[in-house]
Chains A and B, each alone.
Chain A
């Protein structure tokens, strides 16, 4: 599995929670931090 696929899978669940305005765990915010770094640095 490529990094992009791994990120996509990890983000799918988090995105569902964000859309439902559910509270996120620290672990999920860490994932969001990491993906935002990738986004910003290309």
Chain B
């Protein structure tokens, strides 16, 4: 069998590169007869070359600053042309662009490949996304906070992987040194606890685990904060057991340290992904804009604590001075869970009931991780909270997208919710009904166009009227999603799918649109069924209460 040449484009940060690495490993396990080339930015990839070189057959790196070494646009342009000439000597069977940014869309367009997945540009430099999972990323992951899948799995789905291939358990974890790796930093203030919280946690852990060493890891930019943390009076007593590894240590040093450590505690970051690669149990604090379902460590040894705050909007662009979500996770809670993990015990509902009080738990969600052999990473909430409206829709979408985009059945229980949530969910029935009718109109007008084009004497005015109607349907869908925001993922997906209709003439495009509206109306019908079944017990209960 001929070896297939695959190029993977990942131009975003180190964390994304590690997640790409984790997905590609699974792709290669399923497709051993492939030659995989990674194209990445040198500044992100160089630190983890020790990892990337174990997997990729070829790695092509570039650096924007190198393009501009002569400090003028003309020579930079010449350097880019040389770089492009170098990569276009190979024609790839597949190019998979996993970075959804502008530069990658242009680079993807320039690379020679028979088939392109992910963002690229058409002849008029307009954005084009042809494969369905990349359309899902473009419409859902980029704009929504309610994505039910891990990014590693989304990459796997783009690759077309069927089976989850993960690293096996480390049987010698008990023989590792008594080290705890701490990464108390994050790219934004919003995403990281303040120094006081960390000091309190570290003081408690250091006093309870007197035979453990604590390693603070981070980049040189974090070393000032690391020094401040370690110089706090509370930790002076234990200063010989605290080690600052933020002053120019390599990522490979951090990897080696994690290989010989029993626990990682930190924020959702590149280090948490390294912890998953070294099979190190990880306790991850997801604050601010972090979306645990998407970016949590790809590991079954990870426990994730996320605040329950409903701050809206919490976006990367919005600054936040009060940081209420930071106070939702208290250090006693983190310490209690960390202790249990160090003893090698499972974190589950029984543990929470036995060791923690509602005082600790009522402001957080705690997730444990496991792997499903087909769908990949599953985060399960073990705090017995009622599901919020957003979480209920996340579960619905998990089922819907797996069924529609991967032909995979996922079973989830009907959600437990408060009566208020049931009432809000019930209100969504109307929005779902509007959408169902709109998409059915879409089917009707697309059919009309196809029928009219088939006639010998095509009535072009009639065709134009139908095209205008389809435009109105798009506008009405957009209004519906504004009134029913949890329908946004569905509306956006089918909008992007329609915008990328295949075909060069009205008939082909209308046939694509017909299928698009038909599929959309079917999925809306499924959503309607889910809502009806979920609210049914609550509607009955309300009727009983009224009777009483």
B167 beta carbon closer than 8 Å to chain A: no
Question: Does A21 lie at the interface of the complex (its beta carbon under 8 Å from any beta carbon of B)?
Answer: yes
> Which residues 84-103 of B sit at the A interface, judged by CB distance below 8 A?
84, 101-103
Interface: B121 (CB within 8 A) = yes
**Given A6-B73, A34-B77, A39-B102, A29 contacting B109 (CB threshold 8 A):** yes
User: In the complex, are the beta carbons of A30 and B81 less than 8 A apart?
Assistant: yes
B109 touches A6 (CB 8 A): no
B64-72, B236-244, B370-378 - interface stretch: B64-72
B106 CB-CB contact with A under 8 Å: yes
B77–A40 CB distance below 8 A: no
The reply to whether the CB of B546 lies closer than 8 angstroms to some CB of chain A is no
Specify which chain A residues have a CB less than 8 angstroms from the CB of B382 in the assembled complex.
none
Measured between beta carbons, the chain A residues less than 8 angstroms from B107 are 33
B195 within 8 A of A: no
Q: Which one, B68, B80, B125, contacts A24 given CB within 8 A?
A: B125
- Total number of A-B contacts with CB less than 8 angstroms? 64
Are B72 and A29 in touch, CB under 8 angstroms?
no
Residue of B67, B74, B80, B105 touching A6 (CB-CB under 8 A)? B74
- State the main secondary structure of chain A at its contact with B: helix
Taken together as a complex, chains A and B put the C-alpha atoms of A28 and B483 apart, in Å, by 42
Complex Cα gap A37–B68 (Å): 11
**Chain A min CB distance to B79 (Å):** 9
Q: A13 at interface (Cβ–Cβ under 8 A)?
A: no
Is there contact, CB below 8 Å, between A33 and B106?
A: yes
Closest chain B CB from A32 CB (angstroms): 5
Q: How far is the CA of A38 from the CA of B80 in the complex (A)?
A: 12
B125: contacting residue among A10, A18, A40, A41, CB under 8 A: A18
Report A37 CB to chain B, min CB distance, Å: 5
Q: How far does the Cβ of A8 sit from chain B's closest Cβ, in whole Å?
A: 10
Cα separation A18 to B72 with both chains bound (whole Å) = 24
The residues of A that contact B80 with a CB separation of less than 8 Å are 30, 33-34
Residues of chain B with a CB closer than 8 A to A32's CB: 106, 125
Residue of B nearest to A34 (CB): B80
Contacting pair A36 B73 (CB below 8 A)? no
Q: Are A40 and B110 in contact (CB under 8 A)?
A: no
Contact check, A3 vs B121: say whether CB atoms are below 8 A apart.
no
CB distance from A39 to the nearest CB of B (A): 7
Contact of A23 among B68, B102, B124 (CB under 8 A): B124
Chain A residues, Cβ within 8 Å of B73: 3, 6-7, 10, 34
**Pair B64/A29 contact, Cβ less than 8 Å:** no
**Option from A6, A27, A29 in Cβ contact (under 8 Å) with B121:** A29
CB of B76 closer than 8 Å to a CB of A: yes
Measured CA separation A37–B103 after assembly (Å):
6
Is there contact, CB below 8 Å, between A37 and B77? no
Assuming A30-B80, A30-B110, is B123 touching A24 (CB within 8 A)? yes
Interchain residue pairs with CB less than 8 A apart (28) = A3-B71, A3-B76, A7-B73, A10-B73, A18-B125, A22-B124, A23-B124, A24-B123, A24-B124, A24-B125, A26-B110, A27-B81, A29-B109, A29-B125, A30-B80, A30-B110, A32-B125, A33-B84, A33-B103, A33-B106, A34-B73, A34-B80, A36-B105, A37-B103, A39-B102, A40-B101, A40-B102, A40-B103
Instruction: List chain A positions with a Cβ less than 8 A from chain B.
Output: 3, 6-7, 10, 18, 21-24, 26-27, 29-34, 36-41
Given A6-B73, A26-B110, A30-B106, output 18 extra A-B contacts at Cβ < 8 Å: A7-B73, A10-B77, A22-B124, A23-B123, A26-B84, A27-B81, A29-B125, A30-B77, A30-B81, A31-B77, A33-B80, A33-B84, A33-B106, A33-B110, A36-B102, A37-B67, A40-B101, A40-B102
